[in-house]
Structure 1
Amino acid sequence: MRLSRLTLHLSTALLLASGGTLHLAHAAATVAVSPATPLTIGESFSIDSQALKEKRHINVYMARAWDTPPDAPLPVLYMPDGGVAEDFLHVAGLLQVSVANGTMRPFMLVGMQNTQRRRDLTGPTDNADDRKIAPVVSGAPAYRAFIRDELVPEIKRRYRTTGETAIVGESLAGLFVVETYLLEPQLFDHYLAFDPSLWWNRGALPRQAAALLAKGAPGKHSLYLATSAEVGIASEVQRLSEVLEKQSPPGLQWHVEKMPEETHGTIYHPAALKAFRAVFKPQAPAAQ
């Protein structure tokens, strides 16, 4: 008798469990699944560049504070390595959080997506080791012409800007930033270079710095350099800083941030955080 009752209880339990499972499965099947939609951050457009003889893709993000009027003009930060799969997203996020927490003023980020990165960001070299990593080099003059003559005017045409400009880059993009300052200091107001590859062409750019600085016209600019523990980079940045100590042009505010706790692969984000707070800090309210 006890065995038959136990069998009955088990049968009933299995039947109820089966029925409950079927009921849940039926309910799940009838729930409408919300379709996924693209997540849009900023804007994108292309330029058919005459300087580069190719189409270039540009990404734009507006980092505004909650009380920044939507039509207020913004200063512009230009960035090589600016593709979505490159540095655009993490730098845009850093700008937004910095603007939101009040450690920097609102800015527009303009990212330039790469096609042939090592071509565009380098000058000439007679070093065989350089040519191993960059078979095509010396594209920096054409890339600078693209920025100066095509991209900057297009940004001014499309958006409301304040006239204040900056450029930021890391590694070979940092090399391009430093070279641009030494060759065309009037192109931007602020130059930010993190772990710049100043070893390029056996350190030719730091060796030429004194002569290039002597040719440059004085003007109000800032140059922010940051270095990790990368030996070949830190030593060349030190050489450049020694030149700046002796003959820094009038009006130039420059700074070297040594970050030995960082590597070449980790320096971008922490260096950018420090640089943005130092160079783009909010303006003090006018005295009443």
Structure 2
Amino acid sequence: MSTFRSLIILAVMAGALVILAPGVPVVPKETTSPLVVGETFTIESQVLGETRRINIYVPPGRAESPDARLPVLYMPDGGTAEDFLHVMGLIQVSVGNGTMRPFLLVGIENTQRRRDLTGPTESPDDKKIAPRVGGSEAFRTFIRQELMPQVKARYRTTDEAAVMGESLAGLFVVETFLLEPDLFDTYIAFDPSLWWNDQKLVGGAAERLRARPKLAKTLYFASSNEPGLVRRAQRFAQVLTAAAPPGVRWHYEEMPTETHATIYHPAALRAFRAVFKPAK
């Protein structure tokens, strides 16, 4: 998860995401009004056995017709104290200046991040990072069976869907691309934690890719200056070069001036411009 921290405080009020400036003297209530930047709702997940909060941003420039429909960008680490705000800002600016198509942003707020974003592991060291790990399959089921239908019911969307994440969320993105590629159309991962389970995901990637005669998907991934992450990302790029089936459009971006803590925001900007270009 990005270490980005906004200089604003968010409060959830009546289903809307509201921002309040910190450190500002209290003004009589009748002279102020909330600044609404999005919406929020909860899902009582039967799959995960818990309540999950979902944050939504509808960008400007969504076509002039009130019946216009938007593609959807799903984002783990999507809480207001996580990566939702800065990604929302990137979409707002990028759509406004015409460098990306408008997408409905769906931020999935974490409860047990390391449980949801990791697959099974045989590594004793991996199992030490949290009381529960290896829940990525259940998390995908939650997205597919519970979240996506809710989004389609609440908002006017197209069938196009993308997913984006960094670090463990990037691992989830790559794992989903390899294990259940039909869930999304576009996969975006930054500094994915491909070291998980002794790198077995990348180790088995070529066999999985070759088993698919054609795969019309888009994959964009980037790495920072973290040596261990770079090596594994480069190895994954080599696998894709050798084994990616026809139809896969993929790009690997090395960003050596960024650290693991800083890569998300600049990499997301590059990814949006590369894979979500407006139609000419």
Larger Rg: 1
Check if 1:101 corresponds to 2:112: no
Check if 1:169 corresponds to 2:165: yes
Moved more, 58-67 or 265-274: 58-67
User: How many residue pairs were aligned?
Assistant: 254
Q: Is the 8 A contact 1:74 1:160 kept in 2?
A: yes
Check if 1:42 corresponds to 2:62: no
1:130 partner amino acid? D
Gaps of at least 5 residues in structure 1 are 1-30
Gaps of at least 5 residues in structure 2 are 1-26
**Matched residues in 2 for 1:104 and 1:253: separation?**
18
Q: Is the 8 A contact 1:182 1:216 kept in 2?
A: no
**Matched residues in 2 for 1:36 and 1:195: separation?**
42
**Matched residues in 1 for 2:239 and 2:39: separation?**
41
Q: Is the 8 A contact 2:62 2:102 kept in 1?
A: no
Show the counterpart of 1:144: 140
**Matched residues in 1 for 2:262 and 2:44: separation?**
34
After TM superposition, the score normalised by the length of structure 2 is 0.87
Output aligned runs, 1:1-288, within 5 Å.
Answer: 35-65=31-61, 68-216=64-212, 218-284=214-280
**Matched residues in 2 for 1:165 and 1:58: separation?**
16
2:202 partner amino acid? P
**Matched residues in 1 for 2:213 and 2:148: separation?**
21
Aligned CA-pair RMSD: 1.6
**Secondary structure, in 3 states, of the residue corresponding to 1:264?**
coil
Deviation of the 1:83 alpha carbon: 0.5
Q: 1:68 to 1:96 in 2, by over 3 A?
A: farther
The C-alpha deviation readout for 1:145-190, integer Å capped at 9, x for no partner, is 0001111111111111111110000000000000000001111100
**Secondary structure, in 3 states, of the residue corresponding to 1:42?**
strand
**Matched residues in 1 for 2:41 and 2:29: separation?**
33
The C-alpha deviation readout for 1:254-281, integer Å capped at 9, x for no partner, is 0000001100000000000000000000
Moved more, 197-206 or 264-273: 197-206
The C-alpha deviation readout for 1:227-284, integer Å capped at 9, x for no partner, is 0011111111111111110111111000000001100000000000000000000011
Q: 1:179 to 1:131 in 2, by over 3 A?
A: same
Q: 1:254 to 1:83 in 2, by over 3 A?
A: same
Q: Is the 8 A contact 2:218 2:248 kept in 1?
A: yes
After TM superposition, the score normalised by the length of structure 1 is 0.84
2:237 partner amino acid? S
Identity of aligned residues (%): 62
1:257 partner amino acid? E
Q: 1:42 to 1:235 in 2, by over 3 A?
A: same
**Matched residues in 1 for 2:52 and 2:63: separation?**
33
Q: Is the 8 A contact 1:66 1:100 kept in 2?
A: no
